[in-house]
């Protein structure tokens, strides 16, 4: 699509006396030759012929959009800008709120955490290996461990995900978690209304006796 945009001056009028109308345009032709002539009411063939002959561009019985002042346009743009910046701030705040719940500076570790190691992580931790007896892990954020834990965990995040770990010592938000309750392959531990809630994520596989 090819398009152009330009402003045209419009001269709007009605015809009461055809003779006077033609005289007016004869005299002021120089002034109106670049105008769009908008005529409200009926036009006789004589007038049409006259206008085409001049030539003058004309329209009949139309309502054209009324232009606005520059000031009015600027005011409208300003309001729009303020609104969009407010919307953006709201969106950003929402994302920030979500990310503080889900992820703050995620650390990923794939070491086997051996006895004697004391790891402090300011943020979230994803640990893909086991935590041996005598090791301690402390996170201020969320903690996800995919292997068995025999050491100590201190988590102050929104949630913890871990496998059944009967030998682990787990303290979540200063409260010791009874690890007999962690009985599934992957458990989710979270704080809801001041209570520790443990929900299974992946159920323990049941080996049926043959």
Residue choice 132, 136, 140, 146 for contact with another protein (CB under 8 A): 132
Shortest Å distance, C-beta 154 to another protein: 19
Q: Is 115 in the site for another protein (CB under 8 A)?
A: yes
Per the listing, tokens 């200063």 go with 174
Using the minimum distance from each CB to another protein, give the nearer residue, 113 or 121.
113
Q: Is 171 in the site for another protein (CB under 8 A)?
A: no
Q: Is 117 in the site for another protein (CB under 8 A)?
A: yes
Residue choice 43, 134, 138, 173 for contact with another protein (CB under 8 A): 134
Interacting residues of 74 by C-beta distance below 8 A, sequence separation 6+: none
Shortest Å distance, C-beta 155 to another protein: 22
Q: Residue 183 corresponds to which tokens in the numbers above?
A: 């009985």
Q: Is 116 in the site for another protein (CB under 8 A)?
A: yes
Count CB atoms within 10 A of the CB of residue 39: 20
CB-based contact 41:59 (threshold 8 Å): no
Core vs surface per residue 73-109: b (16+ CB within 10 A) or e:
eeeeeeeeeeeeeeeeeeeeeeeeeeeeeeeeeeeee
Q: Where are the beta strands (DSSP E) in the chain?
A: 10-14, 36-40, 57-60, 107-109, 118-121, 125-127, 136-139, 143-145, 152-155, 159-162, 169-172, 175-177, 186-192, 195-202
Instruction: Pick the stretch among 68-76, 77-85, 95-103, 111-119 that binds another protein (CB under 8 A).
Output: 111-119
Residue choice 37, 112, 119, 191 for contact with another protein (CB under 8 A): 112
Distance of CA 116 to the CA centre of its chain: 45
Q: Is 150 in the site for another protein (CB under 8 A)?
A: yes
Q: Is 199 in the site for another protein (CB under 8 A)?
A: no
Shortest Å distance, C-beta 136 to another protein: 13
Q: Is 184 in the site for another protein (CB under 8 A)?
A: no
Q: Give the binding-site size for another protein (rule: CB under 8 A).
A: 11
Q: Is 120 in the site for another protein (CB under 8 A)?
A: no
| Residues binding another protein (CB under 8 A) | 112, 114-117, 129-130, 132-134, 150
């Amino acid at each position: 699509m090819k398009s152009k945009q330009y402003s045209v001056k419009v001269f709007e009028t009605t015809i009461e006396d055809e003779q006077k109308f033609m005289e007016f345009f004869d005299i002021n032709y120089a002034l109106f030759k670049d105008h769009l002539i908008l005529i409200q009411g009926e036009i006789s063939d004589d007038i049409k012929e006259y206008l085409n002959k001049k030539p003058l561009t004309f329209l009949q019985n139309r309502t054209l959009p009324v232009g606005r002042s520059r000031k009015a346009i600027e005011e409208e743009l300003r309001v729009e800008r303020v609104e969009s910046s407010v919307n953006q701030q709201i969106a950003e705040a929402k994302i920030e709120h979500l990310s503080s719940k889900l992820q703050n500076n995620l650390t990923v570790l794939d070491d086997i955490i051996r006895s004697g190691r004391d790891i402090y992580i300011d943020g979230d931790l994803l640990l893909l290996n086991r935590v041996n007896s005598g090791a301690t892990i402390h996170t201020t954020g969320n903690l996800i461990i995919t292997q068995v834990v025999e050491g100590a965990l201190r988590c102050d995040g929104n949630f913890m995900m871990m496998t059944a770990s009967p030998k682990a010592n787990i303290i979540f938000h200063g409260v010791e978690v009874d690890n007999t309750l962690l009985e599934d392959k992957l458990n989710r531990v979270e704080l809801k209304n001041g209570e520790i809630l443990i929900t299974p994520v992946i159920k323990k596989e049941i080996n049926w006796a043959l």
